[in-house]
Amino acid sequence: MNFNWILGDNDDKSFHKLCIDIEYELRPKIVKFLIANNECIEGCTDFSCFHFDVDFQSRSISVSQLTPAKYRNAIKARLEREITF
């Protein structure tokens, strides 16, 4: 599982610490979500093919275009509705 942080103009060290804290908060939520939707993850059970865009300014998370289309299309709407930070 990979996170792409969209930070806008913020790029200081304290902000990066906050991103790390948020990532540790998001990872368990996303793993639980993926396991609960296990029909969507067949073939990628180690979650390595999932990429997420985390937009700090809009406080939103979305499935990245880097995620293979079959997985992205299967979880996109539900993930964006259910996972927040």
- Answer with the residue of higher pLDDT: 7 or 40: 7
Q: Domain residue spans in the chain?
A: 2-82
pTM score, whole prediction: 0.86
Write out pLDDT tens, residues 16-46. Answer: 788 889 899 999 999 999 999 887 778 888 8
Distance (Å, whole) CA 17 – CA 60: 18
Residues pairing with 4 in the sheet: 53
Distance (Å, whole) CA 38 – CA 21: 26
